[in-house]
Chains A and B, each alone.
Chain A
Amino acid sequence: MTRNSEVTGAILIGLILVLTPQRLAAQAPADGCVSCHAGLPQPALSSPAAAFRGDIHDQRGFRCVDCHGGDPTTQDKAQAKAPGTGYRGKPEGQQIVATCARCHSDAGFMRKYAPALRVDQATEYATSVHGMRLAAGDAKVATCASCHHAHGIRQVKDARAPVFPTNIASLCATCHSDAGHMKGYTLPGGSPIPTNQREEYEKSVHFTALAKQNDLSAPTCNDCHGNHGAAPPGVGAISNVCGTCHAVFAEKFALSAHSQIFDRACIECHSNHAVLTTSDAMIGTAKDAICSECHTEKDDAGFVGAERMRASIERLKSALDANTALIASVRNEGMEVSDQELALSELRTKLTQARTEIHAFDPAALDLIVNEGMKGLSAVEQAGNQAVADLRFRRRGLFVSFGAILLVVIGLALKIRQLDRQH
């Protein structure tokens, strides 16, 4: 083979490699659904085609036909939707759940795309208030598409998804804050379902943590009500629901006398949606204390217990404050009190422990913790007072030494003057 023929061969092979993909692409069948719907003047018919671009299913290679059926290879509307093409049109109500469940309830199928994703959403949904009402023929309730959208579905971890934690309250409020939409729906007791949950939730510490402090672990609607199996927690389940996160509080509460009396468990004191920042003022028998709502009689054991618990907490708090101020003041004077500062930070956990113990509503158990804290604080106070005494001693000593130094300096000055005169 000559050199020229080698070069010609290489050019030909190059041309084949460059042109072949384009030829293959030109032969790929066009999606008739998208090409036709994208150009339709009615937004209701064209917007799904636009929204589907970027949808998680689009990214994974699914097409319109996978949910809607039909023949995407033709540009003719009649042929595309002809009998025998499996055309199902727009699913409604139960059909939506069934359509999603075809894949999302098939563990074998889902393993190929999202192996970690649960496959029991449809089963859970059937147990939800939404699912049960839908089964009973209520077409107003939420289905899969109501929360996830039908087209333009994004993964839960995508901040643009309506089901991303920070968007959930708004999503649920779409229906639950709409008095018109919620009209006719009642609680088990027969009273209308309120529509102020979102406003209430936005007052809560949970909303502050989630929306203002960007703490995605803070609860929103679905964390207490469930998402696919959404329902209000039953009366007996409230402490379990709150206890999912507040485990120690739930454990203490379970041991308390109140666990047998409080129908609505935690909610009795902390509310449900508007869970406000707690304060020690909630305990006790003062006007603003929650205990006083039930324990009104002075000879009532609950009244006495509430007063004792509040007094114990206040005793620990004021001792902590006083010692913190004492140690800070001697530290500002330059004394080395890092051991006491460490002790104080450990003793502050005693206050947290005591506040947790309140949920057992047992004054004696609370006093055990408070007394431990007071013992530690007494040692801190002793060290703080010793530091104050040391400071006084140092300053007194300084003035005494100043006096001695001054005497020597005067003596030296006199001697120098005497020597100067001699010379």
Chain B
Amino acid sequence: MQAIIDWVDKRLDLSGIRHFVQEKGVPIHAQKIWYYLGGMTLFLFAVQVASGILLLLYYRPSASEAYESVQFIVTQVEFGWLIRNVHSWSANLLIGAAFAHLFSVFFLKAYRYPRELTWVSGVLLLFLMLGFGFSGYLLPWNELAFFATKVGTGIAGAVPLVGPALMHFLRGGEDVTGATLSRFYALHVAILPAITTVLVGLHLLFVQRQGMSVPVSVARRLKRGERLKEMPFFPDYILRDVLVWYVAIALLAALAAFYPWELGRKADAFAPVPPGIRPEWYFLAMFHTLKLLPAHILGLEGEMLGVVAFGAAAGLLLLVPFLDRRAARDEPSPLFTALGVGALIYFIALTIIGHLAS
């Protein structure tokens, strides 16, 4: 092994990488457990890429073949069931991990100066993950996904001014058809991965350049000139990361074996809408909020106002580091903590209510 490294080193000069590996450290403090969430999200994304590529070998993106090809994957292809179930479960765990990572970074105020761009790229990555989830949900072309996509793209139609055009663009026509499937497929396997690769690269670059953020409370306890004790990233911390990833693999395998992802019935545009149409759990809070809104508020369409409010909330989420001036000065910012707690409670409560209501 060392001989190979030396061989490459002589030709490419690995001193920069060697230096990085030797120098990179992770601060040791009570809240360091939250540092694992970023690595977990990245690991699950890697699982998605690997399992997604394997699914591509058999998946056929057309209204007449998509369902049958997924059916073929889970029934005929050797270990196809495992790959498909891991891909479906990992997608959900990935979004769960991304949300947990976002909230942990939020509450630790890790977005504060000088890590604003890391936060912005991270929030954009979360939006991309939601895009992956929304586009991937339709790909098996089953009944539930078909009608949920109809509802989901219909909500996009409520965006002021550009709504109808946006809905038309998403659907590739007036209604959800094979054309929608084609463009969701293109989004899912080409457009979103390309953007995500760039953003993940930037996000990791920012993290490596700036190192791990230390929570405000920990930073304030340090005496002038005092440095927090650090653990070497290689191999101490990475081994811990790998250990957690192994646990995630065990969890994915158990979910795939005991709770295979249901394929349901093939989508039929002429069939009556089946009961229990609802989006994936991570859209449920938004979906249920829109359902609870009255048809008209102050003479404006309730759904449109809801969509505008969610758009505004997404914008505010991106701008958090620039709005929280107290955190930027390494001071506690209880207002933002309270807003975060409120948002988290709202998200969990509406997800549960939406789940029970449908």
Contacts and interface: CB of A to CB of B under 8 A. Distances in A.
Contact of A334 (B239, B240, B250, B260): B260
A352 to B, nearest CB: 23
Contacts of B259: 334
Contact of B246 (A333, A390, A412): A412
B262 A412 contact: no
Contacts of A402: 250, 253-254
A390 B240 CA distance: 34
Nearest to B251: A405
B265 A419 contact: no
Instruction: Tell me the interface secondary structure of chain B in the complex.
Output: helix
Nearest to A395: B257
B9 interface: no
A405 B249 CA distance: 8
Contacts of B71: 336, 338-339
Contacts of B231: 423
Contacts of A423: 231-232, 236
Contacts of A419: 235-236, 239
Contact of A336 (B74, B236, B247): B74
A405 B243 contact: no
B31 interface: no
Contacts of B250: 401-402, 405-406
A397 interface: yes
Contacts of A237: none
Contacts of A408: 246
B257 A398 contact: yes
A334 B259 CA distance: 6
Interface in B48-75: 71, 74-75
A304 B183 CA distance: 65
Interface residues on B, range: 20 to 34
Which residue, of B74, B75, B239, B249, has the highest number of chain A Cβ atoms within 10 A?
Answer: B75
Contacts of B261: 334
Interface residues of A, number: 24
B253 A334 contact: no
B175 to A, nearest CB: 25
Contacts of A420: 236
B238 to A, nearest CB: 10
B263 interface: yes
Interface in B216-255: 231-232, 235-236, 239-240, 242-243, 246-247, 249-250, 253-254
B265 A338 contact: yes
A339 B235 CA distance: 51
A416 interface: yes
Interface string A389-423: 01000110110011001101100110110011001
A401 to B, nearest CB: 5
Contacts of B75: 336, 339
Contacts of B257: 394-395, 397-398
A409 B236 contact: no
Given A336-B74, A336-B75, A402-B253, A409 B246 contact: yes
B263 A338 contact: yes
Given A334-B260, A416-B236, A409 B247 contact: yes
B260 A335 contact: yes
Nearest to A397: B257
Interface string A351-390: 0000000000000000000000000000000000000001
Nearest to A408: B246
B85 to A, nearest CB: 8
Contacts of A395: 257-258
A419 to B, nearest CB: 5
Nearest to A336: B74
A338 B71 CA distance: 9
A339 B263 CA distance: 12
B246 to A, nearest CB: 5
Contacts of B235: 415, 419
Contacts of B246: 405, 408-409, 412
Contacts of A413: 243
A48 to B, nearest CB: 51
Nearest to B247: A409
B90 to A, nearest CB: 15
Contacts of B243: 409, 412-413, 416
A76 to B, nearest CB: 67
Nearest to A409: B246
A332 B262 CA distance: 10
Which residue, of A334, A398, A412, A420, has the highest number of chain B Cβ atoms within 10 A?
Answer: A334
B239 to A, nearest CB: 5
In the A-B complex, list the 7 residue pairs whose CB atoms are closest, starting with the nearest. A334-B260, A398-B257, A412-B243, A394-B257, A336-B74, A405-B250, A419-B236
20 contacts: A334-B262, A336-B74, A336-B260, A338-B263, A394-B81, A394-B256, A394-B257, A395-B258, A397-B257, A398-B253, A398-B254, A398-B257, A402-B254, A406-B250, A409-B246, A412-B239, A412-B246, A415-B239, A416-B243, A423-B231
Interface of B: 71, 74-75, 81-82, 231-232, 235-236, 239-240, 242-243, 246-247, 249-250, 253-254, 256-263, 265
